[in-house]
Amino acid sequence: MQKSDKTLIVTCPCCGTVLHLDPATGAVLLDERPRKGPVKSFEEAARESAARQKQAKAQLAKAMEEEKHKSEIMDRKFEEAMKKAEDDESPLPVRPFDLD
């Protein structure tokens, strides 16, 4: 932040906009936004869009495949837990109603 004679000059760390502020009121007198890069051609934008779409489809397919296997694993774990519960001969826990 720099201080001039009559204005404060502040640069935004997020977007890079340079703000000229009135120190007495805090009002923004001028804002200078950073210039954007060169404009891409339509063909370049279309290629990038197609690449992003292809990547998104690949990620979706991978997630769906993982989800399919996830349900199989959860089914196996449930079956093993059921077998363990059936074979367990420990006494039932005491119910609060039985204590009265």
User: What six digits make up the tokens of 100?
Assistant: 């009265």
Q: What is the mean pLDDT of residues 6-32?
A: 88
Per-residue pLDDT, 4? 47
pLDDT of 20 higher than 60: yes
- List the domain boundaries for the chain: 2-32, 38-86
Say what the pLDDT of residue 71 is.
Answer: 82
End-to-end, the C-alpha distance of the chain in Å comes to 74
The string of pLDDT tens digits covering residues 30-82 is: 889 888 877 788 999 999 999 999 999 999 999 988 888 888 888 899 999 99
Edge-to-edge strands of the sheet including 2-3? 2-3, 8-11, 18-21, 28-32
CA distance 81 to 71: 15
